[in-house]
Amino acid sequence: MNLLFIGDIFGSPGRSFLKELLPRLREEYEVDLAIANGENAAGGVGLTGAVAEEIFAAGVDVITSGNHIWNQKEIYPLLDTDERILRPANYPPGAPGRGSAVYRARDGTAVGVINVCGRIYSSHNLDCPFRALDAEIAKTRASTPVIVIDFHGEATSEKVAAGWHVDGRASALLGTHTHVQTADELILPGGTAYISDVGMTGSYDEGVIGADREAVLKYFLTQLPVRIKPAGGKRQFSAVCCTINSAGRAERIERLLIRE
C-alpha cells in the first residue's frame, strides 16, 4: 500500500498548488491513500466545510488537523458528522469530532489514521499524547495492522520520543505543525516510518512559514494581536510517500519537496 501524507496546507496558495500537483502525484506514486493536514487551510487559520470539500475534490482522502482546528467554529458540527476529518485524539472528552478512524484505501487495504497533539510549548491543557496513542492504537489494531499517525507538535524531542514509543505498533508516525520539512526520515527497527516534520504546502519565499511577513513581524516587534493571512510569492508542496506492507510494517519512506 502506498501512502501519500501532505504537510500543513496553508491557505489558498497551498490549496491551489495541491490541486495542480496531486492528480499527477497520485498517478506517479501509485497512491492508494492520500492524507493531508488541513488545520491552516482556510485563510491560514482553521478549516471550513467549503475548504474541506475543496481539498477532498483535489484528491485527498483524509484530513488531519491540530490545535488550529478550533479557530473556525463552523467546522464543529462537521467534525461530528464527516469521518474523513480528524481532530487530535488527546483533547478532553466533550470536544467535537474524533481522533481516529479506519479508512479503505484504493487497493482495498484498511488503514487506521490517528491524530494527536504534542504538549511541549502548547498553550492548551491536553491529555497525554503518549497514553492517547496507546489507547487509539489498541482500538485501531482490532481492525487493521496498518496505522498512520499525525503527531502535531512543536518539539522535535517529543516527536522523536513518540516515534520510539509506537515503533512496531504503528506503520508511520509523521510530524506536522512547524511548517519546516526536516531531513530525518527513516524506518525505525520495528518497522515504523518516521519524520519529525513533513513540512508546509503553501507560499515559501515571501512570508514566514506561509504567513504574510508584515503581520508576523508586527507581532514579534510589538507583541500585539495581529490578523494572520497567507503570504504571496512562490509555492511549495511538502509531503512524504510511504510504502507499507500487509503486516503494517513500513518498507520505504521518501520525502517530497516540490517548489515553483
Residue 123 has a pLDDT of 78
Domain ranges of the chain: 2-259
**CATH code, residues 2-259:** 3.60.21.10
Long-range contacts at 21-25 (CB < 8 A, ≥ 24 apart): 21/237, 21/258, 22/58, 22/59, 22/60, 23/58, 23/59, 25/239, 25/256
Predicted local distance difference test score (pLDDT) of residue 111: 98
Question: Mean pLDDT of successive 10-residue segments in the chain (260 residues)?
Answer: 98 98 98 98 95 98 96 96 98 95 98 97 89 98 98 97 98 97 98 98 96 94 93 97 98 98
Beta strands in the chain (DSSP E): 2-6, 8-9, 33-37, 62-64, 100-104, 110-117, 147-152, 172-176, 186-187, 193-195, 200-203, 207-208, 211-212, 235-244, 250-259
- The amino acid sitting at 98 is R
| Catalytically active residues, by annotation | 68
Distance CA 245, CA 256 (A): 21
What is the structure's pLDDT at 170? Answer: 98
Any residues with CB less than 8 A from the CB of 254 and at least 6 apart, and which? 185, 240, 241, 242
